[in-house]
Amino acid sequence: AVHPPNLRAGDRVAVVGDSGSGKTTTLMAIAAEHQNPFTAGFFPEDAHLFDTTVRDNLLVARGDATDDELRRALYAVGLGDWVDGLPDGLATILTGGAAAVSAGQRRRLLLARALVCDLPVILLDEPTEHLDAADADRLLRELLAPDGLFDPTRTVVVATHHLPRVVTCPVLYPRQT
Protein backbone atom coordinates (compact mmCIF):
# COMPACT_ATOMS: atom_id res chain seq x y z
CA ALA A 1 0.00 0.00 0.00
CA VAL A 2 1.13 3.53 -0.71
CA HIS A 3 1.14 5.87 2.28
CA PRO A 4 1.14 9.51 1.20
CA PRO A 5 3.43 11.92 3.02
CA ASN A 6 2.09 14.41 5.53
CA LEU A 7 2.16 17.70 3.66
CA ARG A 8 2.15 21.23 5.01
CA ALA A 9 1.36 24.46 3.20
CA GLY A 10 4.34 25.50 1.12
CA ASP A 11 6.01 22.08 0.99
CA ARG A 12 7.86 21.06 -2.14
CA VAL A 13 8.32 17.32 -2.59
CA ALA A 14 9.75 15.25 -5.44
CA VAL A 15 8.57 11.68 -6.02
CA VAL A 16 11.37 10.00 -7.98
CA GLY A 17 11.49 6.57 -9.58
CA ASP A 18 11.42 4.48 -12.70
CA SER A 19 8.26 3.71 -14.66
CA GLY A 20 6.03 1.43 -12.61
CA SER A 21 7.67 2.32 -9.29
CA GLY A 22 4.55 3.91 -7.81
CA LYS A 23 5.05 7.62 -8.52
CA THR A 24 1.58 8.15 -9.99
CA THR A 25 0.01 5.95 -7.31
CA THR A 26 1.65 8.15 -4.66
CA LEU A 27 0.19 11.29 -6.30
CA MET A 28 -3.24 9.66 -6.46
CA ALA A 29 -3.03 8.75 -2.75
CA ILE A 30 -2.22 12.37 -1.93
CA ALA A 31 -5.12 13.54 -4.11
CA ALA A 32 -7.47 11.15 -2.29
CA GLU A 33 -6.50 12.72 1.05
CA HIS A 34 -7.42 16.17 -0.31
CA GLN A 35 -10.88 15.36 -1.69
CA ASN A 36 -13.06 16.56 1.17
CA PRO A 37 -12.75 19.47 0.96
CA PHE A 38 -11.38 19.38 -2.57
CA THR A 39 -8.01 21.10 -2.23
CA ALA A 40 -5.65 19.32 -4.65
CA GLY A 41 -5.23 19.67 -8.38
CA PHE A 42 -3.91 16.45 -9.97
CA PHE A 43 -2.30 17.00 -13.37
CA PRO A 44 -1.61 13.57 -14.90
CA GLU A 45 0.99 12.90 -17.55
CA ASP A 46 -1.73 11.95 -20.05
CA ALA A 47 -4.13 14.85 -19.37
CA HIS A 48 -6.31 15.77 -22.33
CA LEU A 49 -5.85 18.72 -24.66
CA PHE A 50 -9.17 19.69 -26.16
CA ASP A 51 -10.04 20.53 -29.77
CA THR A 52 -10.71 24.15 -28.81
CA THR A 53 -8.73 27.34 -28.24
CA VAL A 54 -5.46 27.64 -26.36
CA ARG A 55 -7.39 29.86 -23.92
CA ASP A 56 -10.10 27.27 -23.27
CA ASN A 57 -7.51 24.54 -22.77
CA LEU A 58 -6.02 26.59 -19.93
CA LEU A 59 -9.34 27.78 -18.48
CA VAL A 60 -10.14 24.13 -17.69
CA ALA A 61 -8.01 24.68 -14.57
CA ARG A 62 -9.71 27.91 -13.50
CA GLY A 63 -12.56 29.38 -15.49
CA ASP A 64 -12.14 32.95 -14.24
CA ALA A 65 -8.45 33.35 -15.16
CA THR A 66 -7.70 36.49 -17.16
CA ASP A 67 -5.86 36.54 -20.47
CA ASP A 68 -2.93 38.21 -18.68
CA GLU A 69 -2.76 35.32 -16.20
CA LEU A 70 -2.90 32.81 -19.05
CA ARG A 71 -0.10 34.59 -20.90
CA ARG A 72 2.04 34.74 -17.74
CA ALA A 73 1.61 30.99 -17.30
CA LEU A 74 2.53 30.34 -20.94
CA TYR A 75 5.62 32.55 -20.69
CA ALA A 76 6.66 30.85 -17.43
CA VAL A 77 6.73 27.44 -19.14
CA GLY A 78 8.51 28.67 -22.26
CA LEU A 79 5.52 29.03 -24.60
CA GLY A 80 5.30 32.82 -24.71
CA ASP A 81 6.90 33.25 -28.12
CA TRP A 82 4.90 30.29 -29.43
CA VAL A 83 1.52 31.74 -28.41
CA ASP A 84 2.53 35.21 -29.63
CA GLY A 85 3.33 33.67 -33.02
CA LEU A 86 -0.02 31.91 -33.38
CA PRO A 87 -2.43 33.47 -35.90
CA ASP A 88 -5.04 34.25 -33.23
CA GLY A 89 -2.92 34.06 -30.08
CA LEU A 90 -4.93 32.63 -27.18
CA ALA A 91 -7.96 32.36 -29.49
CA THR A 92 -6.14 29.96 -31.84
CA ILE A 93 -7.96 26.64 -32.06
CA LEU A 94 -5.87 23.55 -31.43
CA THR A 95 -7.46 21.48 -34.17
CA GLY A 96 -7.29 17.87 -33.06
CA GLY A 97 -6.25 18.80 -29.51
CA ALA A 98 -2.88 17.22 -28.72
CA ALA A 99 -2.35 16.39 -32.41
CA ALA A 100 -2.01 20.14 -33.09
CA VAL A 101 1.17 20.49 -31.02
CA SER A 102 4.46 18.68 -30.44
CA ALA A 103 4.89 16.39 -27.42
CA GLY A 104 7.02 19.06 -25.72
CA GLN A 105 4.47 21.81 -26.40
CA ARG A 106 1.74 19.54 -25.03
CA ARG A 107 3.67 19.03 -21.78
CA ARG A 108 4.26 22.77 -21.48
CA LEU A 109 0.57 23.55 -22.13
CA LEU A 110 -0.43 21.08 -19.43
CA LEU A 111 2.09 22.64 -17.06
CA ALA A 112 0.70 26.12 -17.86
CA ARG A 113 -2.74 24.72 -17.02
CA ALA A 114 -1.39 23.68 -13.61
CA LEU A 115 0.04 27.17 -13.05
CA VAL A 116 -3.39 28.67 -13.74
CA CYS A 117 -5.04 26.40 -11.15
CA ASP A 118 -5.56 28.09 -7.79
CA LEU A 119 -5.97 25.06 -5.52
CA PRO A 120 -3.56 24.99 -2.55
CA VAL A 121 -2.03 21.58 -3.44
CA ILE A 122 -0.66 20.89 -6.93
CA LEU A 123 0.26 17.34 -7.97
CA LEU A 124 2.26 17.08 -11.20
CA ASP A 125 2.88 13.74 -12.91
CA GLU A 126 5.95 13.81 -15.16
CA PRO A 127 5.56 17.52 -16.06
CA THR A 128 8.86 17.68 -17.97
CA GLU A 129 8.58 14.46 -19.98
CA HIS A 130 9.40 15.04 -23.69
CA LEU A 131 11.42 18.19 -22.98
CA ASP A 132 15.14 18.41 -23.65
CA ALA A 133 17.31 17.78 -20.59
CA ALA A 134 18.32 21.41 -20.01
CA ASP A 135 14.72 22.71 -20.18
CA ALA A 136 13.46 19.81 -18.05
CA ASP A 137 16.06 20.49 -15.35
CA ARG A 138 15.33 24.24 -15.37
CA LEU A 139 11.57 23.68 -15.06
CA LEU A 140 11.96 21.05 -12.33
CA ARG A 141 14.16 23.45 -10.33
CA GLU A 142 11.57 26.23 -10.75
CA LEU A 143 8.66 23.94 -9.86
CA LEU A 144 10.33 22.69 -6.69
CA ALA A 145 11.86 25.96 -5.48
CA PRO A 146 9.95 27.74 -2.69
CA ASP A 147 10.33 30.99 -4.64
CA GLY A 148 9.79 29.36 -8.05
CA LEU A 149 6.81 29.10 -10.39
CA PHE A 150 4.22 28.52 -7.65
CA ASP A 151 3.40 30.83 -4.74
CA PRO A 152 5.44 29.85 -1.65
CA THR A 153 2.27 29.14 0.36
CA ARG A 154 1.16 26.43 -2.07
CA THR A 155 2.19 22.80 -1.80
CA VAL A 156 3.75 21.24 -4.90
CA VAL A 157 4.47 17.54 -5.40
CA VAL A 158 6.23 16.51 -8.61
CA ALA A 159 6.61 12.93 -9.86
CA THR A 160 9.61 12.52 -12.13
CA HIS A 161 12.14 9.98 -13.39
CA HIS A 162 15.10 12.17 -12.48
CA LEU A 163 15.89 15.18 -10.36
CA PRO A 164 18.46 17.91 -11.08
CA ARG A 165 21.36 17.88 -8.60
CA VAL A 166 20.70 21.34 -7.21
CA VAL A 167 17.13 20.61 -6.04
CA THR A 168 17.10 20.48 -2.24
CA CYS A 169 13.48 19.53 -1.47
CA PRO A 170 12.50 16.26 0.25
CA VAL A 171 12.49 13.27 -2.10
CA LEU A 172 10.27 10.18 -1.93
CA TYR A 173 11.28 6.93 -3.62
CA PRO A 174 8.06 4.90 -3.77
CA ARG A 175 8.01 1.15 -4.16
CA GLN A 176 5.00 -0.79 -5.37
CA THR A 177 4.10 -3.68 -3.07
Q: pTM for this structure?
A: 0.92
Spell 137-175 as b/e; 16+ CB within 10 A means b.
bebbbebbbeebbbeeebbbbbbbeebbeebebeebebe
Would you list the domain boundaries of the chain?
Answer: 12-172
pLDDT of residue 87: 96
pLDDT truncated to tens, each residue of the chain (177 aa)?
455 678 999 999 999 988 888 899 989 988 988 887 789 999 998 899 999 999 999 999 999 999 999 999 999 999 999 999 999 999 999 999 899 999 999 999 999 999 999 999 999 999 999 999 999 999 999 999 999 999 999 999 999 998 888 888 989 888 754
Q: Hey, what CATH topology would domain 12-172 get?
A: Rossmann fold (3.40.50)
pLDDT of residue 174: 85
Which one-letter DSSP state was computed for residue 48? P
